[in-house]
Amino acid sequence: MRILLVCLGNICRSPTAEAALREALAQAGMDGKVEVDSAGTGDWHAGQPPDRRMTAAAAAVGLRLEGRARLIRRDDFDAADLILVMDRSNLQDVLALAPTPQAREKVRLYRSFDPDAEDDEVPDPYYGGDGGFTSVVRIARAAARGVVRELQQQEQHA
């Protein structure tokens, strides 16, 4: 199973969601069964590490962000079984890139996996204060637990 997490620049939300999902998978004993990656719909930050503010907010609660920003590619639609986007704008952008109807079916909002979420979008903290980054970490972890629950249910029914 391969999951790709996508936001705008791939330096805040999607690397945090990637780290949160890796953490949740490890806690569930599923880390060897699922490959996780992240990408962005824009190339402004390609090659850069995660945003330092996001990295600090994640590190404050024991979450380690890794990798370098990259742009989503057409071959990601073939490689990924599930493409999870952070907001409706990302959703539209990714669906527009999808090469086939089958590829479009792989795309979902990441936060839709959190049954307690009041909204289905992960807000972009880039232009806000530190509280936005802390909030994204909390949101990413809650959605990650939901993704893992769904994967476990699928595994039980397979």
Q: Which residues are catalytic?
A: 7, 13, 124
In the chain, the amino acid numbered 40 is: G
Q: Give the CA radius of gyration of the chain.
A: 14
Single out the residue of 107, 113, 108 nearest to residue 144, CA to CA: 113
In the chain, the amino acid numbered 50 is: P
| Cβ 90 vs Cβ 8: under 8 Å | yes
- Tokens 């907010």 correspond to 57
Single out the residue of 66, 4, 65 nearest to residue 40, CA to CA: 4
